[in-house]
Chain A
Amino acid sequence: MMPSKWGAFRESLRVRMLVFFLIITLVSIAVLSTSFFVLTAGIIRENSNRLLVDLIQQIAAEIDNLFTNAQRTLEMVANDPKIQQVLRSPYPEQVSLRYSIELEVDNQLSFVHSYMKDIFGIYIIGANGMAYKSNFLSGKDGNWTDAPWYNEILRAAGTVWLGPHDGSFTVETIEQPIITCGRSITDKASGRSLGVILVDIEVETIEKLLRGNLGGRGYIELLDTRGNVICGIQRFASGGNLEAELAEVTKTAVGGAVARESRNGPYLTYSRQLEINSWKTIGVILKKELNRDMAPITKLIAVLFTGICLLDLLAALYFTAKLTNPIKKLMLLMKRVETGDFQVTMDITARNEIGRLAESFNIMVRRLDNLMRQLFANQQKLRKAQLTALQAQINPHFLYNTLDSVCWLAREEKKSEIISTVIALTKLLRIGLSKGDEIISIREEVEHVRNYLIIQKMRYGNILDYSIEVPEVLKEYRIVKLVLQPLVENALYHGIKNKNAPGVIEIRAEQYNGSIVFRVSDTGIGMEPEKIRTLERTLGDPEARSDSFGLKNVSDRIRIYFGDDHGLSFDSEVGKGTTVSFSIPLVHGE
């Protein structure tokens, strides 16, 4: 039956212990892991917050530095006396002189440039029509004084920053994106404009400052004052319209890092304005990218959790097995004992409770074994005693005497006596056999002894008289059969017959303290105290053989049935008579 089997399984000590252990440890580990995870996640979030702010500040400082250098270069070159003089002088009509000066000034600019690694080029466009460059790239042809950027710079009071454009305004390039800052050059002598000076910075130079600093978790962009992206490292495949969102964020997110929601999920952002030209560096870390940082920790926790769980399970299995296996073994042995095998031994030597239990079990089983052996021996003895009692009852001598008496009665034609004697004999034999039952009612036992006395009275009528006094209330209690008759026989043959004078045999029963006491007394010859002691010793020793065979048989059977304290006791006085008494517990019929 499945349900009960499952129930038994659930109830099993081992399963209960297992479940208990596992729940306790798993819950503790789960609580521990979760708190660890939450704490670590907090630290990582906090760190990335700080990292973002630090990084953006640092990058803003670097870009500021780069731009400041460019601006200083502008000022330095614009105020250089030699440059001032060159720009002040009129356009040389002689082409050879023009080129000679141009190459010379180019060279001077390139020296200045050689100390500014991150600058792409320095250019001067003179109002006098001359143009100079610091790099040795080929100058573009054309009249720049008409270009919008030239006039924007010329009219501005200070430095002008121009956003990314493809290629330099002034020299041949491979059209890479470049940002330019420029200012007008004022004649230190007259205050009129001598032209403009420009510095080109490759966008790639700025990109190098931005690149890779966030380790792929986010990206950094440089935006101009109108929020246009000057350069940025777009690292997300999911980029989408993030830039538009950022433009929105930049308006508000200045100061500490700000957490925002976007179509791409929540993100952290921080922006910082450049000191030099109000452009902004802005950094973005997508939170889902941060979760990537958590991945190794999550994995570690998962592995640890699984590992500990497995270890825990194994340990629990091992310990509960170690604990319950001896109990299971004990159970199996107990089952064998139940089926009657007393040869089992539990070989557990552990010096703990289980060991002690095993020890007690072994002792118990050994005792049981002894008990069973004893019981078996008693049973055998009893059967033998029963048989002997039966044999004693119908011994040929008694039968011969009885039949002899009947014979004499027949000769004297005492018809009624013959009938009563034969009836008594018949009853005697019937009760004696009593269908093999060993226990009979007191009524039957008394009937049996009465019939015996009827027969003996027929033979020894001249010397024997008897009385039987058994209260009617006791007659339904049980007694071992054929105990009274041997006592009466003993009283007749050893007591009265030896006295050579008429005697009386009395059989009495009475209830006393929850038992029934039987007394068989005679007024016979009596016994000396010495004889009584010998007799009692003989009866007390189960192995002893005795002349008083009938008495011993009765004593043994009473003891086997009712215990050792239910023996025969004797009370006798020489010449006066003997009383043999015994008691049996009150035992009801079926």
Chain B
Amino acid sequence: MSIRRRIALFLAGLLLAGVLLSGCERGAHSRDAGASAEASSRPVVGFSQVNHANPWRIAETNDIRKEAARLGYELILIDGDSSAQKQVKDVESLIARRVDYIILAPKEFETLRPAIVAARDAGIPLILVDRMADAVPGVDFLTFIGSDFIDEGERIAKWLARKMNAKARIVELRGEKGSSPEIDRAIGFRNIIKKYPGMEIVASSYAYFERLEGQKVMEEIILAIGPTFNAVYAHNDEMAIGAIQALKAAGIKPGEDVILASIDGGKDALKAIIAGELGASVECAPRFARRIFDVIDAHRRGEVISARIINEDRLFDINNAGEFIHDAF
């Protein structure tokens, strides 16, 4: 065998080993990767999810998976482990793998901007879901699909005003500081209650969208201001359910002494509504994968995509909770 042929064979071997090794690595990191993106002719969609620590995210991810499988898309799912920095890297890795589309559920508003810009510069259409980020829809990325958080805040405020006859001393449990739902749900709520002089926010604290955190913050507020409030507005269900446990522990009856209202409309929230402890929850639908893939299909057909697509959200209270509990996420 000539030296040249030997070298060629050796290089080919190296290449093969490299491909196999990189394949292995990919398999280890992302369970959804399946066959490698390069090997498939199916369109590849990358999805950078914040985490899978709450039912809302799990429902969203499972819905996207189901829809991708139904429509024949290959989905690469990457869990951001609740880190915005990791999400930036995740998006960069999706760009490096030359996926056809990127779905990004940004954890934070500002931190994810470089990832969006990188996708834009790489020419990969990116769809922002759930939360907004610091970029221009239709310019920096394809479109935003999600709920209108301001509208959610406004609707729950209207419900509370009606329920409380426009008179309420309100404790606000805010979501993850600096995230777009936290900002917008606070704004929307205030847009309405400022019209009612009898409605007043007496305490406002961050509980990061988490149940135990909501319980802890509520306990602190009860100790700090005593039973001087008669309403709680939580930016999501989890914090509201946590707050309910804190109120019960303090001998305050949720649903009677204190009216609670929250946003998301999850299964546990509906249970709490049925239990009479949570007043109402405005839905923030996690299952909108169909809309996402409609947008992708339209984009592939070359149609014009609207820069913002807003989900229609329902309001659950004692009147309809029992009806929807089995559909709830």
Contacts and interface: CB of A to CB of B under 8 A. Distances in A.
Contacts of A137: 54-55, 58
A138 B24 contact: no
Contact of B58 (A102, A107, A174): A174
Interface in A89-123: 95-100, 102-104, 106-107, 110-111, 114
A136 interface: yes
Given A96-B276, A99-B275, A174-B58, A138 B266 contact: yes
Contacts of B77: 174
A234 B54 contact: no
Interface stretch (B2-10, B168-176, B242-250): B242-250
Interface in B69-119: 77
B225 interface: no
B55 A172 contact: yes
Interface string A134-176: 0011110100000000000000000000000000000011111
Contact of A237 (B21, B28, B266, B275): B21
Interface residues of B, number: 37
A95 B275 CA distance: 7
B274 A136 contact: no
Contacts of B301: none
Interface string B236-272: 0010011011001000000000000000001110011
A114 B53 CA distance: 13
B329 to A, nearest CB: 6
B277 interface: yes
B20 interface: yes
Nearest to A172: B58
Contacts of B31: 176
Interface residues of A, number: 28
A102 B268 CA distance: 9
A30 B58 CA distance: 65
A233 interface: yes
What's the dominant secondary structure at chain B's contact region?
Answer: helix
Interface string A6-17: 000000000000
A315 B215 CA distance: 82
B267 A138 contact: yes
A111 B274 contact: no
A438 B151 CA distance: 146
A414 interface: no
Contacts of B28: 233-234
Contact of B272 (A99, A110, A139): A99
A99, A173, A175: residue with the most chain B Cβ atoms closer than 10 Å: A99
A373 interface: no
Interface string B49-78: 000101100110110010000000000010
Given A103-B271, A138-B329, A234-B24, A173 B215 contact: no
15 contacts: A95-B275, A95-B322, A96-B274, A96-B276, A99-B272, A99-B274, A136-B211, A136-B268, A138-B55, A138-B268, A138-B328, A141-B326, A172-B59, A174-B58, A174-B77
Given A103-B277, A107-B211, A237-B17, 16 more contacts: A99-B272, A100-B277, A103-B245, A103-B268, A106-B268, A114-B212, A136-B55, A138-B55, A138-B59, A138-B268, A141-B326, A172-B62, A173-B52, A174-B52, A174-B77, A237-B21
Interface of B: 17, 20-21, 24, 28, 31, 52, 54-55, 58-59, 61-62, 65, 77, 211-212, 215, 238, 241-242, 244-245, 248, 266-268, 271-272, 274-277, 322, 326, 328-329
* 10 residue pairs, one from A and one from B, having the closest CB atoms: A99-B271, A237-B20, A99-B275, A100-B275, A138-B55, A138-B267, A96-B275, A107-B245, A96-B276, A137-B55
